[in-house]
Amino acid sequence: PIKEVTDAEKENGAHCLILPHPTQGHINPILQFAKRLTHKRIKITLALTKFTLKTTTGFSGGSISTRSISDGFDEGGRAHANSSEEYQARFQQVGRETLAELLQDLAGSGRPVDCVVYDPFIPWVLDVAKGFGLLAAAFFTQSCALKLPLSGGEVVVPGLPPMKPEEMPSFIHDHGSYPGTFQMLLNQFRNVDKADWILINTFDKLEQEVLEWMSRFWRVKAIGPTIPSMYLDKRLQDDKEYGLNMFNPMTNTCMNWLDNQEPKSVIYASFGSLAQLTARQTKELAYALTTSNKPFLWVVRSTEESKLPEDFSKSRKGLVVTWAPQLEVLSHMAVGCFVTHCGWNSTLEGLSLGVPLVAMPQWTDQSTNAKLVTDVWGVGVRARADCNGIVSREEIVSCVKSVMESEDGKRIGSNAVKWKGIAREALDLGGSSDKNIEEFVTEIMLKRY
Ligand code: UDX
Our measurement of the distance from residue 208's CA atom to the centroid of its chain's CA atoms, rounded to an integer in Å, reads 19
Q: Could you tell me if the CB of 142 is within 6 A of ligand 1?
A: yes
Nearest atom within ligand 1 for CA of residue 250: 33
- Of the candidates 166, 164, 202, 171, which has an alpha carbon nearest to the alpha carbon of residue 186? 171
Identify whether the C-beta of residue 372 lies closer than 8 Å to the C-beta of residue 202. Answer: no
By most ligand atoms within 8 Å of CB, the mutation choice from 346, 362, 372 for ligand 1 is 346
pLDDT tens track for 197-228: 999 999 999 999 999 999 998 999 999 999 99
Q: Could you tell me if the CB of 402 is within 6 A of ligand 1?
A: no
Q: Could you tell me if the CB of 364 is within 6 A of ligand 1?
A: yes
Cα 274 to ligand 1 centroid, rounded to whole Å: 8
Cα 386 to ligand 1 centroid, rounded to whole Å: 25
Burial call 27-46: b when 16+ CB within 10 Å, e when fewer: bbbbbbbbbbbbbbbbbbbb
CA end-to-end span of the chain, whole Å? 31
Q: Could you tell me if the CB of 233 is within 6 A of ligand 1?
A: no
pLDDT tops 90 at residue 418: yes
- Dihedral pair phi/psi, residue 150, rounded to 5°: -115, 145
Q: Is the peptide bond before 225 cis (omega within 30 degrees of 0)?
A: yes
Band of residue 41 on the pLDDT scale cut at 50, 70, 90: confident
pLDDT tens track for 45-64: 999 999 998 887 666 666 78
Band of residue 131 on the pLDDT scale cut at 50, 70, 90: very high
pLDDT tens track for 76-96: 999 999 999 999 999 999 999
Kindly state the DSSP code that residue 173 receives in the 8-state scheme.
H
Cα 375 to ligand 1 centroid, rounded to whole Å: 22
Nearest atom within ligand 1 for CA of residue 325: 30
Cα 87 to ligand 1 centroid, rounded to whole Å: 21
pLDDT tops 50 at residue 1: no
Nearest atom within ligand 1 for CA of residue 143: 7
Cα 428 to ligand 1 centroid, rounded to whole Å: 24
The mean pLDDT of 135-156, rounded to a whole number, is 74
- Tell me how far apart the alpha carbons of residues 268 and 405 are, in angstroms, rounded to a whole number: 16
Identify whether the C-beta of residue 269 lies closer than 8 Å to the C-beta of residue 296. Answer: yes
Q: Could you tell me if the CB of 323 is within 6 A of ligand 1?
A: yes
Protein residue closest via CA to atom 28 of ligand 1 = 272
Other beta carbons within 10 Å of 202 = 26
Residue ranges of alpha helices (H) inside 153-312 are 170-173, 179-187, 208-215, 250-259, 279-291
- Of the candidates 208, 233, 243, 141, which has an alpha carbon nearest to the alpha carbon of residue 423? 233
CA atoms lying within 13 Å on the CB side of residue 241 = 12
Our measurement of the distance from residue 412's CA atom to the centroid of its chain's CA atoms, rounded to an integer in Å, reads 23
Protein residue closest via CA to atom 25 of ligand 1 = 326
Cα 24 to ligand 1 centroid, rounded to whole Å: 7
Q: Could you tell me if the CB of 251 is within 6 A of ligand 1?
A: no
Identify whether the C-beta of residue 363 lies closer than 8 Å to the C-beta of residue 178. Answer: yes
Burial call 119-148: b when 16+ CB within 10 Å, e when fewer: bbbbbbbbebbbebebbbbbbbbbbbbbbb
Other beta carbons within 10 Å of 436 = 21
pLDDT tens track for 261-279: 999 999 999 999 888 999 9
Other beta carbons within 10 Å of 175 = 15
Residue ranges of alpha helices (H) inside 146-197 are 170-173, 179-187
Question: Strand, helix or coil at 139?
Answer: strand
Q: pLDDT averaged over the chain?
A: 90
Please give the ipTM for the structure prediction.
Answer: 0.97
Element (H, E) at 409: helix 407-427
Q: Could you tell me if the CB of 239 is within 6 A of ligand 1?
A: no
Cα 275 to ligand 1 centroid, rounded to whole Å: 9
Identify whether the C-beta of residue 336 lies closer than 8 Å to the C-beta of residue 259. Answer: no
Nearest atom within ligand 1 for CA of residue 26: 9
pLDDT tops 70 at residue 10: no
- Tell me how far apart the alpha carbons of residues 89 and 397 are, in angstroms, rounded to a whole number: 44
Full DSSP string of 50-93:
HHHHHH-TT-EETT-EEEEE--S-TTTGGGGSSSHHHHHHHHHH
Q: Return the minimum-mean-pLDDT range out of 30-39, 151-160, 198-207.
A: 151-160
Q: Could you give the residue numbers annotated as active site?
A: 26, 119
pLDDT of residue 202: 97
pLDDT tens track for 329-367: 999 999 999 999 999 999 999 999 999 999 999 988 899
Cα 67 to ligand 1 centroid, rounded to whole Å: 24
Q: Could you tell me if the CB of 344 is within 6 A of ligand 1?
A: yes
Q: What is the β-pairing status of strands 150-151 and 15-19?
A: unpaired
pLDDT tops 90 at residue 175: no
Nearest atom within ligand 1 for CA of residue 299: 33
Q: Could you tell me if the CB of 326 is within 6 A of ligand 1?
A: yes
| pTM for the model | 0.92
Q: Could you tell me if the CB of 365 is within 6 A of ligand 1?
A: yes
Other beta carbons within 10 Å of 51 = 21
- Tell me how far apart the alpha carbons of residues 152 and 224 are, in angstroms, rounded to a whole number: 32
Nearest atom within ligand 1 for CA of residue 29: 23
